[in-house]
Structure 1
Amino acid sequence: MLSVILSSLCFDYFFAPPLYALSITPADIPAILVLISFALLIVRFSAVRHRIESQLLQARDNLQAEVVERTQQASLLNLTHDTIFVRDMSDVITYWNRGAEELYGWAPYEAVGKRSRDLLRTVFTTPSDAISAELLETGRWEGELRHGKADGTEVVVASRWSLRRNENNQPVAILETNNDITDRKRREEEIRSLNSELEKRSTDLEASNRELEAFAYSVSHDLRAPLRHMVGYAELLQKNSSGTLDDKGSRYMRMILEAAKRMGNLIDDLLAFSRIGRVETQKTQVNLEHLVKEALSEVRQETNGRSIVWKIDTLPVCYGDRSMLKLVLVNLLSNAVKFTRPQPKAEIEVGCVDGNKNEVVVFVRDNGAGFDMKYVDKLFGVFQRLHHVDVFEGTGIGLATVQRIIHRHGGKVRAEGVVDQGATFYFSIPKI
């Protein structure tokens, strides 16, 4: 304002007649008003210019700071080996980091400015319209894509998209991060293929087992009738011709009858073994202590006149088929009784050891004949025997039956032994 007043006085003194005198006449007033208006306009323009210059300087400083920050961010993005690039809403690449160059093979100057779908030959596993809708709605999208590389090969990537919006909430760019999962997908495909093959083989094996069990049952059942005839006529021959047979003939006759008896036992055991594979398990809560007592009552007849020290530890309640588990205990206890026969004082123990939290591990231990651990894999095979039949009788099916029952319960069977120092058999069954 002061400058306006001084300008008016200077105009009156130097330009308005009379010159060099401060006198204002009515005729001077319009010129003075024009001068004042012109001066005010100049002041106004100067203030606006000053404000605009200040804003431009502030914008320049802000832009420089943003350029520094963006440069630092770009440098950090280039330090990672992850694949990162940015594209605008027209799918044109605007940023391409070193990780993208390493994975795809294009340098930044080759990729920037190109449409990503055209450059990478993108194959979507999800419709692109659905991806765009989800990205606009949530600001994010994750999924798997197939991309082409500069050398012509393909990669499968786990892709993550993040949408960037401006201050007006308008979408302006998409940040895409990709991780190469080609090897993982190939392994998953191999695993699926192996599982499919395993499932097919398992189905075929189950069918073969069913056929084998049916065959074994049929053969065993059909063998009973001719065997009964053979035993019956051999007994009649022994009875009616005992006076005419010499010692050798009588011994031959006994051998025939003993062999027929062994064959009958084999047939019975084979029938029982094949029957286990066909019978459905009826699982309930089973008190193992009660079951051991019942099994002992069945094998007591094999212990007449013998000195056996029995040790039955505290046993828990488990979950399984009661009749099948009883057969397991009967077979194991009967084996222990049989193989401790040469001992003057036999010791047999039934107990439980720690397993995992979902199973019960029961053992039957004896101080009998034992076995060589190098033959342990033969113990649970059908008709597999480690001792001659003249020393210890049996058909070689008992332990195979034990293993089949425990496997049907989802458990495992194993054995430990030392020759002439006894053996221990373990089996696991589910807890309640």
Structure 2
Amino acid sequence: MALILARPNLQLQFARSPVLRYGLAVTSFVIVLSLALLAQRYGFHNVEVPLFLFAIAVTVWYAGAGPAILAVVLSSLAFDYFFTEPRYSLYVKSSEIPYYAVYILFALLLVWFSAVRRRVEQQLLESRDELQREVTIRTQQASLLNLTHDTIFVRDMSNVISYWNRGAEELYGWRAEEAIGKESYQLLLTEFPVPIEEIRTELLRTGRWEGELRKSKADGSKVVVASRWSLRQDEQGRPVAILETNNDITERKRREEDIQSLNQELAMRSTELESINKELEAFAYSISHDLRAPLRHMAGYAELLQKKASSVLDDKSNHYMVMILDSAKRMGDLIDDLLAFSRIGRAETQKTVFDLTQLVKEALTEVQQDSEGRNIAWNIGTLPEFYGDRSMLRLVMVNLLSNAIKFTRTRPQAEIEIGCANGSAEDLVIFVRDNGVGFDMKYVNKLFGVFQRLHQSDAFEGTGIGLATVQRVIHRHGGKVWAEGVVDGGATFYFSAPRPRGQLWRA
């Protein structure tokens, strides 16, 4: 066997060349015959049979069954011719036929046995080569698996670990020699999201499973992993091993839990804030409504007192009466604006698609009284269709136009422009621009607050609720409001809102 394993190339050469194979049969026969004749000459008898059998064995070993049969035939003829009486003749006595038959049978058995053994040795040789190739491949695969930082280990169907890569050592803290041979669930104290029987059923049915598991490290700390299992089967389809890969998602799970907790807290605060806002709106509405009656009484009695006592009062007292009436009127305007502002928060939006140009014309008609006697140049650009609550947006345009008329009062030639700016593919942007007194941009954040004013009330009248109303309406339409201005250089107010579906208009 050792001789055969040591000379695979020689066997390969004989197997490929018929001349070499049959030449070996003849050569071995000639050598053995020469040795047998030489032994007979020097008085060594009965050595020819073992020598011929040796020649047959060598031939069958290296050249195969065909040349071995040739060696058997040649050996039988030579034995009969050179070593059997009468010598140098092929005559065979009838009494020697059984002897020849036994010899030939024994030779053929030797050929068969040698051929079988040679085939077995060849199979062993091929199996060894295959095993070496498999070992080489597995070694390369194991080396590659050790290069990755992913956690990979293999366990048999009894969950006993048979392979443990470097990534598993880094994550869990156990070395390979400590983990291999241990039961994985007990070593890692695995916590499953569902009963393990369900997981095994799915694994056997589909050949794979994945999910989140909680495991323990060597130091006792917990880790959450995204685990993927792959089932390995043998040639008969029987499950033999499970390849498990784990990715550490502990930090991600912690962040998700934090985000979920923050979302819950935010939802609670949002609900509380919504409730508080509703209470504030109801409170503002109630207070504003309840203030109307005493305010009307105050203004009414002040007017009666002015009519009856103005003749007997001096100029200072009459001035006081005028101040009382003006303050009552201003208070009434504040209450009306506050009620309108509160109603916007409670009213439901009735959105439709409407012509914005027509809406601007209606708003101009409504503010016409404020512009009487004024020299105002109106510039109305091409406006698109608008999708929203028509009555609410009319209130927006009335407030913005009133604002522009008011703050251009000091200009001999007022210029007010309404147009559409370049927005995005999803949003429309509308603007109202004037050449009025403008404002300082460092106070721009105060423009849209309730009761916020950037100019003295004795210079420009107003309650400070108009722009807050504009902002509330646009926010309810899913848009935003902003402004740009320069002191004594005019101002531009913008608002945006989603375009109507299918609109292809561009500014």
TM-score (norm 1): 0.96
| 2:424 corresponds to | 356
Provide the rounded CA distance (Å) in 2 between the counterparts of 1:406 and 1:318.
12
Provide the rounded CA distance (Å) in 1 between the counterparts of 2:232 and 2:381.
71
Greater relative contact order (Cα 8 A, min sep 6): structure 1 or 2? 1
| 1:324 corresponds to | 392
| 2:433 corresponds to | 365
| 2:415 corresponds to | 347
Unaligned runs of at least 5 residues, structure 1: none
| 1:45 corresponds to | 113
Selected match of 1:177 from 231, 238, 245 = 245
Contact (CA 8 Å) 1:16, 1:28: kept in 2 or not? no
Selected match of 1:57 from 125, 129, 135 = 125
Provide the rounded CA distance (Å) in 1 between the counterparts of 2:259 and 2:368.
52
Provide the rounded CA distance (Å) in 1 between the counterparts of 2:423 and 2:176.
60
Selected match of 1:110 from 162, 178, 181 = 178
Provide the rounded CA distance (Å) in 2 between the counterparts of 1:393 and 1:32.
142
Instruction: Give the CA deviation at 1:409.
Output: 1.3
Provide the rounded CA distance (Å) in 2 between the counterparts of 1:118 and 1:353.
68
| 2:326 corresponds to | 258
Provide the rounded CA distance (Å) in 1 between the counterparts of 2:492 and 2:245.
59
Instruction: Give the CA deviation at 1:16.
Output: 6.2
Instruction: Give the CA deviation at 1:165.
Output: 1.8
Deviation per CA, 1:118-163, whole angstroms, max 9, x where unpaired?
Answer: 1111111233222222222222222111111111111111112222
Q: May I ask how many residue pairs the two structures share in their alignment?
A: 432
| 2:62 corresponds to | none
Instruction: Give the CA deviation at 1:220.
Output: 0.6
| 2:494 corresponds to | 426
| 2:267 corresponds to | 199
Unaligned runs of at least 5 residues, structure 2: 1-68, 501-507
| 1:69 corresponds to | 137
| 1:283 corresponds to | 351
Q: Which moved more, 1:349-358 or 1:375-384?
A: 349-358
User: What is the one-letter code of the residue matched to 2:186?
Assistant: D
Provide the rounded CA distance (Å) in 1 between the counterparts of 2:478 and 2:372.
36
Instruction: Give the CA deviation at 1:404.
Output: 1.1
| 2:188 corresponds to | 120
Provide the rounded CA distance (Å) in 1 between the counterparts of 2:339 and 2:151.
66
Provide the rounded CA distance (Å) in 2 between the counterparts of 1:6 and 1:23.
15
1:8 has 2:76 as partner:
yes
User: What is the one-letter code of the residue matched to 1:75?
Assistant: S
Rg (Cα) greater in structure: 2
| 1:384 corresponds to | 452
SS at match of 1:99: helix
Selected match of 2:288 from 193, 199, 220 = 220
User: What is the one-letter code of the residue matched to 1:72?
Assistant: Q
Provide the rounded CA distance (Å) in 2 between the counterparts of 1:26 and 1:409.
124
Deviation per CA, 1:53-77, whole angstroms, max 9, x where unpaired?
Answer: 1111111111111211111111111
Provide the rounded CA distance (Å) in 2 between the counterparts of 1:430 and 1:239.
55
SS at match of 2:345: helix
1:79 has 2:147 as partner:
yes
SS at match of 2:258: helix
| 2:311 corresponds to | 243
Q: Which moved more, 1:284-293 or 1:220-229?
A: 284-293
User: What is the one-letter code of the residue matched to 1:307?
Assistant: N
Provide the rounded CA distance (Å) in 2 between the counterparts of 1:115 and 1:14.
75
| 1:405 corresponds to | 473
